[in-house]
């Protein structure tokens, strides 16, 4: 299953992706969005669509 890969150098910590995640799999860690609960992630890509800077891509 594909999971979001967050570009840590690109992420500004705005939290929009976190708010968009229906499974609450993302959290801010040191002001950077992180996939902290990969087991709950369904790979829906809502976070990818929500990121205004396109810092998130889906990867195997």
CATH number at residue 49: 3.30.70.20
What confidence tens digit (pLDDT) does each residue in 1-12 have?
899 999 999 999
Residue among 24, 59, 49 at smallest CA distance from 39: 24
Q: What is the mean pLDDT of the chain?
A: 97
pLDDT surpassing 90 at residue 60 = no
Overall number of domains in the chain: 1
For 55, the token pair is 């810092």
Range of the domain at 49: 3-59
What are the strands, taking DSSP E only, across 11-55?
A: 26-29, 32-35
Report the C-alpha gap between 47 and 19 in whole angstroms.
8
Report the C-alpha gap between 2 and 58 in whole angstroms.
6
What confidence tens digit (pLDDT) does each residue in 10-48 have?
999 999 999 999 999 999 999 999 999 999 999 999 999
Residue among 60, 40, 7 at smallest CA distance from 48: 7
């Amino acid at each position: 299953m594909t999971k979001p890969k967050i570009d840590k150098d690109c992420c500004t910590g705005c939290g929009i992706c976190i708010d968009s995640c229906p499974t609450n799999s993302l959290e801010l860690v040191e002001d950077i969005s992180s996939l902290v609960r990969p087991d709950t992630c369904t790979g829906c890509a809502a976070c990818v669509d929500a990121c205004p800077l396109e810092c998130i891509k889906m990867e195997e």
